[in-house]
Amino acid sequence: MAQIADRIAWAVETLDIQPNDHVLEIGCGHGVAVDLICQSLIDGRITAIDRSEKMIEAAQKRNKTHIAAGKAIFQATTLEKADFKDGMFNKIFAINLSLFWIEPAVISAIVKQYIVHGFTVREVLFKETEPIESACVIAMVS
């Protein structure tokens, strides 16, 4: 089994996934975080999006058992164009997604419409990970 990048392992650990969480990952890449998250889900689900069809195909291949179990859904789309038919999430995350620092106001507005009852930033964490430092903004449901 391939080694999991420090930043991905830390992000999933920080999310503190509960069995009934409804999670959105923005920019899922190869689906490594999805695989880790699904291991903790029972009644919950993760929806993962990525603008790259190639990445979505790789993520679906990696997570085919989670898809079959109804725990993972993948969409090849951007956040701005995504259609989340079944609605709300109680946890949303992205790893190394440039949109969060290039257009934070736009992304924040889109994310807010999919968080249950809005959110309030509770904590900002930093961790030394390879190859660069990682940051985590924890926003809790109000």
SS3 assignment for 69-122: CCCEEEEECCCCCCCCCCCCECEEECCCCCHHHHCHHHHHHHHHCCECCCEEEE
Q: Which residues are CB-neighbours of 70 under 8 A, at least 6 positions away?
A: 45
pLDDT of residue 115: 60
Backbone angles phi, psi at 136, to 5 degrees: -135, 125
What does the DSSP 8-state code read for residue 27?
Answer: S
Burial class (CB in 10 A: 0-12, 13-18, 19+), 93: buried
pLDDT of residue 8: 92
Q: For the chain, which ranges sit under pLDDT 70? A: 1-2, 86-87, 97-119, 140-142
Query: Domain-by-domain residue ranges, the chain?
Result: 6-117
pLDDT of residue 81: 87
pLDDT of residue 71: 97
CATH ID of 6-117, from 1.10.510.10, 3.40.50.1820, 3.40.50.150, 2.40.10.480: 3.40.50.150
Q: How would you label 61-87 residue by residue, b for 16+ Cβ within 10 Å and e otherwise?
A: ebbeebbeeebbbbbbeebeeeeeeee
pLDDT tens across 113-123, in order? 666 656 677 77
- In percent, how much of the chain has pLDDT > 90? 46
Helical (H) or strand (E) element with 33: helix 32-38
